[in-house]
Amino acid sequence: MTTTAIAESTTDYIAREDAWGAHNYHPLDLVIAEAQGAWVTDVGGRRYLDCLSAYSAVNQGHCHPRLLRTMVQQAARVTLTSRAFRNDQLGAFCEELGALCGMEMVLPMNTGAEAVETAIKAARRWGYRTKGIAHDQAQIIAFDNNFHGRTTTIVGFSSEPAYREQFGPFAPGFVLVPFGDIDAVRAAMNHNTCAVLIEPIQCEAGVLMPPDGFLRELSALCAREQVLLMADEIQTGLGRTGALFACDHEGVTPDVYILGKALSGGFYPVSAVVSRRDVLGVFGPGSHGSTFGGNPLGCAVAREAMRVLHDEQLVQRSATEGAWLLEQLRSLRHPAIRAVRGRGLMCAVELHEPARPYCEALQQRGVLCKETHGTVIRLSPPLVVARRDLEWAVEQFRAVFTR
Protein backbone atom coordinates (compact mmCIF):
# COMPACT_ATOMS: atom_id res chain seq x y z
CA MET A 1 0.00 0.00 0.00
CA THR A 2 1.42 3.38 -0.98
CA THR A 3 1.79 6.29 1.40
CA THR A 4 -0.84 8.20 -0.59
CA ALA A 5 -3.28 5.29 -0.36
CA ILE A 6 -2.71 5.05 3.39
CA ALA A 7 -3.36 8.78 3.84
CA GLU A 8 -6.49 8.62 1.71
CA SER A 9 -7.76 5.58 3.56
CA THR A 10 -7.25 7.25 6.93
CA THR A 11 -8.81 10.46 5.64
CA ASP A 12 -11.84 8.55 4.38
CA TYR A 13 -12.42 6.89 7.73
CA ILE A 14 -12.15 10.22 9.53
CA ALA A 15 -14.39 12.00 7.05
CA ARG A 16 -17.11 9.36 7.38
CA GLU A 17 -17.03 9.52 11.17
CA ASP A 18 -17.13 13.31 11.16
CA ALA A 19 -19.99 13.36 8.66
CA TRP A 20 -22.23 10.85 10.44
CA GLY A 21 -21.13 10.90 14.07
CA ALA A 22 -21.92 13.51 16.72
CA HIS A 23 -18.86 15.63 17.49
CA ASN A 24 -18.69 15.03 21.23
CA TYR A 25 -15.01 14.00 21.13
CA HIS A 26 -11.85 15.50 19.68
CA PRO A 27 -9.71 12.40 19.04
CA LEU A 28 -6.21 12.28 17.65
CA ASP A 29 -6.32 11.73 13.91
CA LEU A 30 -5.41 8.08 13.55
CA VAL A 31 -7.74 5.15 12.87
CA ILE A 32 -7.04 2.00 14.85
CA ALA A 33 -7.81 -1.31 13.16
CA GLU A 34 -6.10 -3.89 15.39
CA ALA A 35 -4.67 -4.17 18.89
CA GLN A 36 -2.72 -6.67 20.97
CA GLY A 37 -1.28 -6.28 24.44
CA ALA A 38 0.04 -2.74 24.83
CA TRP A 39 0.21 -2.01 21.10
CA VAL A 40 -2.35 -0.89 18.51
CA THR A 41 -2.13 -0.80 14.71
CA ASP A 42 -3.78 1.76 12.44
CA VAL A 43 -5.46 1.14 9.11
CA GLY A 44 -2.20 1.92 7.35
CA GLY A 45 -0.29 -0.75 9.25
CA ARG A 46 1.64 1.54 11.62
CA ARG A 47 2.01 0.38 15.22
CA TYR A 48 1.69 2.62 18.29
CA LEU A 49 2.29 2.07 21.98
CA ASP A 50 -1.04 2.70 23.70
CA CYS A 51 -0.41 4.86 26.74
CA LEU A 52 -4.08 5.56 27.48
CA SER A 53 -5.58 2.05 27.78
CA ALA A 54 -9.07 3.27 26.86
CA TYR A 55 -9.01 5.39 30.02
CA SER A 56 -7.83 2.37 32.08
CA ALA A 57 -10.40 -0.05 30.66
CA VAL A 58 -7.77 -2.38 29.21
CA ASN A 59 -5.52 -2.89 32.25
CA GLN A 60 -5.15 -6.53 31.12
CA GLY A 61 -4.02 -5.41 27.66
CA HIS A 62 -5.83 -5.37 24.33
CA CYS A 63 -7.44 -8.62 23.18
CA HIS A 64 -6.08 -10.70 26.04
CA PRO A 65 -6.24 -14.31 24.80
CA ARG A 66 -7.85 -15.66 27.96
CA LEU A 67 -10.58 -13.01 27.88
CA LEU A 68 -11.11 -13.58 24.16
CA ARG A 69 -11.46 -17.32 24.67
CA THR A 70 -13.90 -16.82 27.55
CA MET A 71 -15.98 -14.36 25.55
CA VAL A 72 -16.22 -16.63 22.51
CA GLN A 73 -17.11 -19.67 24.61
CA GLN A 74 -19.77 -17.82 26.60
CA ALA A 75 -21.18 -16.13 23.48
CA ALA A 76 -21.73 -19.57 21.98
CA ARG A 77 -23.74 -20.62 25.05
CA VAL A 78 -25.91 -17.65 26.06
CA THR A 79 -25.34 -13.89 26.00
CA LEU A 80 -28.41 -12.27 27.52
CA THR A 81 -31.33 -13.44 29.64
CA SER A 82 -32.33 -10.12 31.24
CA ARG A 83 -32.87 -10.17 34.98
CA ALA A 84 -36.34 -11.62 34.44
CA PHE A 85 -34.57 -15.00 34.63
CA ARG A 86 -31.45 -16.20 36.41
CA ASN A 87 -28.24 -17.21 34.65
CA ASP A 88 -25.37 -19.46 35.68
CA GLN A 89 -22.71 -16.72 35.71
CA LEU A 90 -24.25 -13.96 37.83
CA GLY A 91 -24.03 -15.62 41.24
CA ALA A 92 -20.40 -16.59 40.78
CA PHE A 93 -19.53 -13.10 39.52
CA CYS A 94 -21.14 -11.46 42.56
CA GLU A 95 -19.45 -13.88 44.96
CA GLU A 96 -16.00 -13.45 43.43
CA LEU A 97 -16.17 -9.66 43.15
CA GLY A 98 -17.62 -9.34 46.64
CA ALA A 99 -14.80 -11.47 48.04
CA LEU A 100 -12.20 -9.46 46.12
CA CYS A 101 -13.53 -6.26 47.71
CA GLY A 102 -14.13 -7.76 51.15
CA MET A 103 -17.82 -6.85 50.87
CA GLU A 104 -21.17 -8.65 51.20
CA MET A 105 -23.25 -7.64 48.18
CA VAL A 106 -22.79 -6.72 44.52
CA LEU A 107 -25.14 -4.90 42.18
CA PRO A 108 -23.93 -5.24 38.56
CA MET A 109 -24.57 -2.61 35.90
CA ASN A 110 -22.94 -1.80 32.54
CA THR A 111 -21.22 1.57 32.34
CA GLY A 112 -19.38 3.52 34.99
CA ALA A 113 -21.94 6.30 34.96
CA GLU A 114 -24.69 3.75 35.60
CA ALA A 115 -22.77 2.44 38.59
CA VAL A 116 -22.39 5.97 39.98
CA GLU A 117 -26.11 6.60 39.51
CA THR A 118 -26.81 3.31 41.28
CA ALA A 119 -24.59 4.29 44.21
CA ILE A 120 -26.37 7.64 44.49
CA LYS A 121 -29.76 5.92 44.66
CA ALA A 122 -28.51 3.43 47.24
CA ALA A 123 -27.00 6.17 49.42
CA ARG A 124 -30.16 8.25 49.39
CA ARG A 125 -32.45 5.36 50.28
CA TRP A 126 -30.00 4.22 52.97
CA GLY A 127 -30.03 7.76 54.38
CA TYR A 128 -33.82 7.80 54.61
CA ARG A 129 -34.18 4.29 56.03
CA THR A 130 -31.13 4.04 58.27
CA LYS A 131 -30.20 7.57 59.27
CA GLY A 132 -33.71 8.97 59.38
CA ILE A 133 -33.17 11.83 56.94
CA ALA A 134 -36.40 13.69 56.14
CA HIS A 135 -38.12 12.90 52.83
CA ASP A 136 -36.30 14.31 49.78
CA GLN A 137 -33.70 16.10 51.93
CA ALA A 138 -30.72 13.75 51.44
CA GLN A 139 -27.43 15.45 50.61
CA ILE A 140 -24.28 14.02 49.02
CA ILE A 141 -20.91 15.77 49.29
CA ALA A 142 -18.69 15.67 46.20
CA PHE A 143 -15.49 17.49 45.24
CA ASP A 144 -14.40 20.27 42.92
CA ASN A 145 -12.86 18.98 39.68
CA ASN A 146 -14.70 15.67 40.00
CA PHE A 147 -15.50 13.46 37.04
CA HIS A 148 -18.01 10.69 37.73
CA GLY A 149 -19.72 10.38 34.35
CA ARG A 150 -21.87 12.16 31.79
CA THR A 151 -25.50 11.72 32.84
CA THR A 152 -27.48 14.85 33.68
CA THR A 153 -27.49 14.06 37.40
CA ILE A 154 -23.73 13.62 37.46
CA VAL A 155 -22.76 16.63 35.35
CA GLY A 156 -25.10 18.63 37.54
CA PHE A 157 -22.59 18.43 40.38
CA SER A 158 -19.52 18.95 38.19
CA SER A 159 -17.44 22.09 38.66
CA GLU A 160 -16.38 22.05 34.99
CA PRO A 161 -18.53 24.55 33.02
CA ALA A 162 -18.05 22.69 29.72
CA TYR A 163 -19.69 19.59 31.20
CA ARG A 164 -22.75 21.56 32.38
CA GLU A 165 -23.39 24.21 29.78
CA GLN A 166 -26.99 24.15 28.47
CA PHE A 167 -27.74 20.72 29.99
CA GLY A 168 -29.76 21.98 32.99
CA PRO A 169 -31.89 22.05 35.01
CA PHE A 170 -29.98 19.75 37.32
CA ALA A 171 -30.95 17.52 40.23
CA PRO A 172 -30.55 19.05 43.70
CA GLY A 173 -28.98 17.35 46.68
CA PHE A 174 -25.25 17.77 46.02
CA VAL A 175 -22.69 20.00 47.72
CA LEU A 176 -19.20 20.62 46.33
CA VAL A 177 -16.13 21.18 48.48
CA PRO A 178 -12.42 21.58 47.61
CA PHE A 179 -10.66 18.29 46.90
CA GLY A 180 -8.46 17.21 49.78
CA ASP A 181 -9.83 19.76 52.31
CA ILE A 182 -11.03 17.81 55.35
CA ASP A 183 -12.16 20.97 57.15
CA ALA A 184 -14.40 21.86 54.21
CA VAL A 185 -15.94 18.39 54.27
CA ARG A 186 -16.55 18.65 57.99
CA ALA A 187 -18.18 22.07 57.61
CA ALA A 188 -20.47 20.83 54.82
CA MET A 189 -21.76 17.84 56.78
CA ASN A 190 -25.07 17.90 58.58
CA HIS A 191 -27.82 15.46 59.55
CA ASN A 192 -29.03 15.32 55.93
CA THR A 193 -25.65 14.17 54.62
CA CYS A 194 -25.99 10.55 53.54
CA ALA A 195 -22.73 10.10 51.62
CA VAL A 196 -19.43 11.50 50.43
CA LEU A 197 -18.58 10.59 46.83
CA ILE A 198 -14.90 10.73 45.93
CA GLU A 199 -12.34 9.64 43.37
CA PRO A 200 -9.28 8.66 45.47
CA ILE A 201 -7.26 10.17 42.62
CA GLN A 202 -8.97 12.61 40.27
CA CYS A 203 -8.05 11.12 36.92
CA GLU A 204 -9.85 13.28 34.36
CA ALA A 205 -8.85 16.39 36.27
CA GLY A 206 -5.20 15.59 35.59
CA VAL A 207 -4.21 12.80 38.04
CA LEU A 208 -4.73 15.00 41.09
CA MET A 209 -4.01 13.37 44.44
CA PRO A 210 -5.27 14.55 47.83
CA PRO A 211 -2.81 15.28 50.65
CA ASP A 212 -1.34 12.27 52.44
CA GLY A 213 -3.68 11.13 55.18
CA PHE A 214 -6.77 12.81 53.74
CA LEU A 215 -8.55 9.58 52.85
CA ARG A 216 -7.92 8.19 56.34
CA GLU A 217 -9.28 11.35 57.94
CA LEU A 218 -12.26 11.32 55.59
CA SER A 219 -13.03 7.68 56.38
CA ALA A 220 -12.90 8.35 60.13
CA LEU A 221 -15.10 11.44 59.78
CA CYS A 222 -17.71 9.55 57.74
CA ALA A 223 -17.82 6.71 60.26
CA ARG A 224 -18.23 9.14 63.15
CA GLU A 225 -21.02 11.10 61.44
CA GLN A 226 -22.88 8.05 60.05
CA VAL A 227 -22.16 9.00 56.45
CA LEU A 228 -21.33 6.56 53.67
CA LEU A 229 -17.90 6.90 52.07
CA MET A 230 -18.35 6.01 48.38
CA ALA A 231 -15.13 5.52 46.40
CA ASP A 232 -15.37 5.89 42.63
CA GLU A 233 -12.58 3.52 41.61
CA ILE A 234 -13.79 3.12 38.05
CA GLN A 235 -10.44 4.33 36.68
CA THR A 236 -8.17 3.92 39.71
CA GLY A 237 -9.28 0.43 40.72
CA LEU A 238 -8.14 -3.06 39.77
CA GLY A 239 -4.42 -2.40 39.83
CA ARG A 240 -4.08 0.88 37.98
CA THR A 241 -2.32 2.75 40.82
CA GLY A 242 -0.08 -0.10 42.00
CA ALA A 243 -2.60 -1.38 44.52
CA LEU A 244 -5.79 -3.32 43.96
CA PHE A 245 -7.68 -0.13 44.85
CA ALA A 246 -6.33 3.40 45.22
CA CYS A 247 -7.90 3.55 48.70
CA ASP A 248 -5.53 0.74 49.73
CA HIS A 249 -2.59 3.15 49.68
CA GLU A 250 -3.96 4.65 52.89
CA GLY A 251 -5.40 1.45 54.32
CA VAL A 252 -8.96 2.70 53.79
CA THR A 253 -11.93 0.46 53.02
CA PRO A 254 -14.85 2.61 51.87
CA ASP A 255 -18.46 1.74 52.57
CA VAL A 256 -19.13 1.53 48.83
CA TYR A 257 -16.86 0.67 45.90
CA ILE A 258 -17.93 1.88 42.46
CA LEU A 259 -16.17 -0.16 39.76
CA GLY A 260 -16.11 -0.45 35.98
CA LYS A 261 -13.73 -0.21 33.02
CA ALA A 262 -11.01 -2.83 33.72
CA LEU A 263 -13.60 -5.03 35.41
CA SER A 264 -14.09 -6.65 32.00
CA GLY A 265 -10.71 -5.95 30.47
CA GLY A 266 -12.17 -3.80 27.71
CA PHE A 267 -14.18 -6.63 26.16
CA TYR A 268 -17.66 -5.70 27.32
CA PRO A 269 -19.28 -2.93 29.40
CA VAL A 270 -19.41 -4.22 32.99
CA SER A 271 -19.67 -2.08 36.10
CA ALA A 272 -20.75 -2.75 39.66
CA VAL A 273 -21.53 -1.24 43.02
CA VAL A 274 -20.07 -3.32 45.85
CA SER A 275 -20.98 -2.74 49.48
CA ARG A 276 -22.37 -4.11 52.72
CA ARG A 277 -25.71 -5.85 53.01
CA ASP A 278 -27.28 -2.96 54.93
CA VAL A 279 -26.48 -0.58 52.04
CA LEU A 280 -27.35 -2.58 48.93
CA GLY A 281 -30.10 -4.36 50.83
CA VAL A 282 -32.23 -1.21 50.47
CA PHE A 283 -33.11 -2.27 46.92
CA GLY A 284 -36.11 -4.48 46.37
CA PRO A 285 -37.77 -5.83 43.22
CA GLY A 286 -38.81 -2.95 40.99
CA SER A 287 -36.67 -0.29 42.71
CA HIS A 288 -33.72 -0.55 40.33
CA GLY A 289 -32.72 -2.58 37.31
CA SER A 290 -31.02 -2.99 33.95
CA THR A 291 -31.80 -5.30 31.05
CA PHE A 292 -28.11 -5.89 30.36
CA GLY A 293 -26.75 -5.49 33.90
CA GLY A 294 -25.54 -8.86 35.20
CA ASN A 295 -25.83 -10.55 31.80
CA PRO A 296 -24.03 -13.90 31.48
CA LEU A 297 -21.61 -12.73 28.78
CA GLY A 298 -20.42 -9.75 30.81
CA CYS A 299 -20.24 -11.76 34.03
CA ALA A 300 -18.18 -14.55 32.44
CA VAL A 301 -15.69 -12.09 30.94
CA ALA A 302 -15.42 -10.11 34.19
CA ARG A 303 -14.73 -13.27 36.20
CA GLU A 304 -11.87 -14.12 33.87
CA ALA A 305 -10.62 -10.51 33.91
CA MET A 306 -10.30 -10.67 37.71
CA ARG A 307 -8.43 -13.96 37.47
CA VAL A 308 -6.01 -12.49 34.92
CA LEU A 309 -5.22 -9.60 37.28
CA HIS A 310 -4.29 -12.14 39.96
CA ASP A 311 -2.57 -14.79 37.85
CA GLU A 312 -0.36 -12.35 35.96
CA GLN A 313 0.40 -10.26 39.07
CA LEU A 314 -0.68 -7.11 37.28
CA VAL A 315 -1.15 -5.12 40.47
CA GLN A 316 2.46 -5.75 41.45
CA ARG A 317 3.63 -4.98 37.90
CA SER A 318 1.80 -1.67 38.02
CA ALA A 319 3.57 -0.74 41.24
CA THR A 320 7.03 -1.67 39.96
CA GLU A 321 6.80 -0.39 36.40
CA GLY A 322 4.86 2.68 37.46
CA ALA A 323 7.54 3.72 39.97
CA TRP A 324 10.18 3.37 37.25
CA LEU A 325 8.14 5.33 34.69
CA LEU A 326 7.40 8.14 37.14
CA GLU A 327 11.10 8.45 37.99
CA GLN A 328 12.00 8.68 34.30
CA LEU A 329 9.33 11.28 33.56
CA ARG A 330 10.47 13.37 36.51
CA SER A 331 13.96 13.45 35.03
CA LEU A 332 12.69 15.34 31.97
CA ARG A 333 13.97 18.91 31.80
CA HIS A 334 12.00 21.28 29.62
CA PRO A 335 10.64 24.80 30.20
CA ALA A 336 7.12 23.69 29.20
CA ILE A 337 6.91 21.12 32.01
CA ARG A 338 5.25 22.41 35.15
CA ALA A 339 4.90 19.19 37.17
CA VAL A 340 5.01 15.41 36.91
CA ARG A 341 2.89 13.27 39.23
CA GLY A 342 1.37 9.84 39.44
CA ARG A 343 0.92 6.56 41.25
CA GLY A 344 1.41 3.14 39.72
CA LEU A 345 0.88 3.18 35.96
CA MET A 346 -1.18 6.36 36.14
CA CYS A 347 0.99 9.37 35.44
CA ALA A 348 0.53 12.95 34.33
CA VAL A 349 2.85 15.55 32.84
CA GLU A 350 1.39 18.99 33.48
CA LEU A 351 2.55 21.79 31.18
CA HIS A 352 2.61 25.57 31.22
CA GLU A 353 1.04 25.54 27.75
CA PRO A 354 -1.48 23.51 25.71
CA ALA A 355 -0.72 19.79 25.74
CA ARG A 356 -2.39 18.89 22.43
CA PRO A 357 0.64 19.72 20.21
CA TYR A 358 2.86 17.53 22.39
CA CYS A 359 0.38 14.64 22.19
CA GLU A 360 0.37 15.02 18.41
CA ALA A 361 4.17 15.06 18.33
CA LEU A 362 4.26 11.89 20.44
CA GLN A 363 1.74 10.30 18.09
CA GLN A 364 4.07 11.01 15.19
CA ARG A 365 6.76 9.12 17.11
CA GLY A 366 4.49 6.15 17.80
CA VAL A 367 3.28 6.89 21.34
CA LEU A 368 -0.44 7.44 22.00
CA CYS A 369 -1.52 9.54 24.96
CA LYS A 370 -4.15 12.21 25.37
CA GLU A 371 -4.45 15.67 26.85
CA THR A 372 -6.89 16.44 29.63
CA HIS A 373 -7.98 19.82 30.96
CA GLY A 374 -5.97 21.51 28.26
CA THR A 375 -2.50 21.41 29.73
CA VAL A 376 -2.04 17.88 31.10
CA ILE A 377 -0.71 14.81 29.28
CA ARG A 378 -2.11 11.69 30.92
CA LEU A 379 -0.32 8.34 30.64
CA SER A 380 -1.88 5.03 31.65
CA PRO A 381 -0.48 2.16 29.56
CA PRO A 382 -1.89 -1.36 29.95
CA LEU A 383 -0.53 -3.09 33.05
CA VAL A 384 0.93 -5.80 30.82
CA VAL A 385 3.29 -3.32 29.16
CA ALA A 386 6.90 -4.53 28.95
CA ARG A 387 9.77 -2.54 30.49
CA ARG A 388 11.50 -2.38 27.11
CA ASP A 389 8.39 -0.75 25.65
CA LEU A 390 8.29 1.80 28.46
CA GLU A 391 11.99 2.51 27.90
CA TRP A 392 11.25 3.16 24.24
CA ALA A 393 8.32 5.42 25.16
CA VAL A 394 10.53 7.45 27.50
CA GLU A 395 13.01 7.91 24.63
CA GLN A 396 10.18 9.40 22.56
CA PHE A 397 9.25 11.74 25.41
CA ARG A 398 12.86 12.87 25.67
CA ALA A 399 12.93 13.52 21.94
CA VAL A 400 9.75 15.61 22.08
CA PHE A 401 10.70 17.46 25.25
CA THR A 402 14.09 18.74 24.14
CA ARG A 403 15.15 22.29 24.86
Among all residues, which ones are annotated catalytic? Answer: 147, 232, 261
Residue ranges of E strands in 101-157:
105-109, 139-143
Whole-number Å distance between alpha carbons of 111 and 151:
11
Nearest to 396 by CA among 318, 329, 351: 329
Residue 372 and residue 394: Cα distance in Å, rounded? 20
State the number of CA atoms in the 13 A half-sphere of 380 facing the CB: 29
The set of residues, in sequence order, having a beta carbon less than 8 Å from that of 282 and lying 6+ positions away, is: 122, 125, 126, 129
Q: Quick one: which of 369, 348, 375 has its CA closest to 209?
A: 348
State the SS3 of 309-333. HHHCCHHHHHHHHHHHHHHHHHCCC
Chain centre distance of CA 14 = 26
> Contact 97/104 with Cβ under 8 angstroms?
no
CB neighbourhood size of 282 (10 A): 19
Q: Hey, which residues does 106 pair with through a beta bridge?
A: 274
The percent helix, strand, coil of the chain (3-state, each to 5) is 40, 20, 40
